[in-house]
Structure 1
């Protein structure tokens, strides 16, 4: 068990851990895409966090099935079982995948993580959340499935899937006094997740305040702006210049992009190393970071409601502005008339100070 350091004078939070575990369960209803995505993070890289290369962080012990050095089985499950018994603290619980409703599973179960040591019966994801979340110093939901339910929670699903806050309640608080920290994305943007996790770790070390979250429990500094506000195609929207097919570099609102109303920083940040991001590479935004995804944004390739109205309103203004800017651009592409090789000075130079 790791003990907390004594708070320094003026320190606002009465904690500060030298060592912490990250128990990452990806047995929610998911594709493990968030774990795979996080391996591409560089700000910081997950290996830099685990190997102690990020200054000021506690020593981190990561338990993730994809990244685990164990051979699996009981060796991998050991820290999870110890934490459930209250013998491993402190730890951060990371959940990947949506949470099924095991109250409607009939005679079976929807998803499990290991077996009960006495009965051999599968231990459901819900069992682990019930036993780990109340003991966790912080709880982080990785990806849209874990945050809001995602694909598995769409209309017509038989599992009754939901997000972690739906399961634990939006008023849930960890032992560290934190609400659930939601980092949505399908999959999660790698650096968004690692930056958020690093903030939580600095907070655990006693050197940072709690991460600021919005009303949907997302990090404010990452999800405070819309896709449109960071999109390199946004200038075309202002000029009323819209793409008619997916080969165009222009604004894609008319061919299904939801960017103007979606909270996400991917066009600004890119995907890996600042490169990529849906609209940046010709893809439309399908709102995968939003709580209503996917139901409220389907069919994906259809123009969003309001898209025809907004594009119609901006079109005459945009056409006029585009024409005026074209004239100005033409003028700006012309050199001043005094740049010549004739035998006279026409630049307007007037040495009035001379006698």
Structure 2
């Protein structure tokens, strides 16, 4: 399908086709590995569709470390039961590889601690699709930043199976929902060389930035709070590919540049180490 298809249109058409019984909801495992849980928190802030609608009308979230009702071994049993069904695996957070993943334990089952690395390996081998959500899962991110004492690594570096990257710190919930909708309705989206959906990550933030006219006229801000282009203050918009300037956050209320904050390139490979300094003063 065309990489130009509108994410909102993908979401709406998928909901409609599920409602008309021409498509079925799919099971979803959302594993939180080594990270801050920022992506599942961002998902809870989603709107149009909101989380209750997403979780009841598009997917059956059978397992998540933070928001599922079951606890302890019963929670992990739900995880194991899902492995025998058709499901999508989402992983947020990097994988800790030091000491056999000891520094990220996601469950205890039959007296044995289950590491994030073990759970990811189990699920990825049976999942229909695997999504690395957030920059830590996609590229290692803050979890794998220097000096990286836990030897954390990205999901694509950890697994040998195909992984769709949805980077962001955190990932915009609409990026996640529209990608899942695409997988349900149309299958695998067209991906860039990094494994990111082109309908989300093709154009740079700079392309659609509300301050682009200042850049074109070489009018630059000299301090934070100025209304002009923040390129000279360290903005990473020209080298960062995502639709933040169009999608915005909190149901299109705002985004960093309109809040007088330079883009820090959080969706990029190498964030944060290769994106510093975020602000040049």
Map 1:270-309; keep pairs closer than 5 Å.
270-302=248-280
Per-residue CA deviations over 1:75-100 (Å, capped at 9, x if unaligned) read 222221224xx5x3111111110111
Indicate whether 1:267 and 2:245 are aligned.
Answer: yes
Structure 2 unaligned spans of 5+: 1-21
- 1:199-348 pair list within 5 angstroms: 199-202=182-185, 208-302=186-280
Matches of 1:255 and 1:151, distance apart in 2: 22
> Aligned-pair distance for 1:267?
1.6
Which of the two has greater strand per residue? 2
Instruction: Using structure 2 for the length normalisation, give the TM-score.
Output: 0.87
| TM-score, L = length of structure 1 | 0.69
Larger Rg: 1
**Aligned ranges 1:117-128 → 2 under 5 Å:** 117=110, 120-128=111-119
Matched, 1:21 2:6: no
Q: Which secondary structure state, in structure 2, belongs to the residue aligned with residue 51 of structure 1?
A: helix
Q: Provide the residue aligned with 1:93 in structure 2.
A: 89
Report the aligned-residue RMSD: 1.9
**Which stretch has the larger CA shift, 152-161 or 16-25?**
16-25
Is this contact kept in 2: 1:247–1:282, CA < 8 A? yes
Contact residue 227 and residue 263 of structure 1 kept, 8 A: yes
SS state at 1:185 partner: coil
Partner of 1:150: 141
Q: Which has the higher contact order (CA 8 A, sep 6+)?
A: 2
Q: How many residues align?
A: 260
Q: Displacement of 1:17 after TM fit?
A: 6.8
* 183 and 261 in structure 1: CA distance in 2 versus 1, 3 angstrom threshold: same
Deviation >6 Å, runs of 4+ = none
Q: Could you tell me whether the CA contact under 8 Å between 2:72 and 2:108 is conserved in 1? A: no
Unaligned runs of 5+ in 1: 1-15, 173-178, 203-207, 304-355
Aligned 8 A contact 2:30 2:61 in 1: no
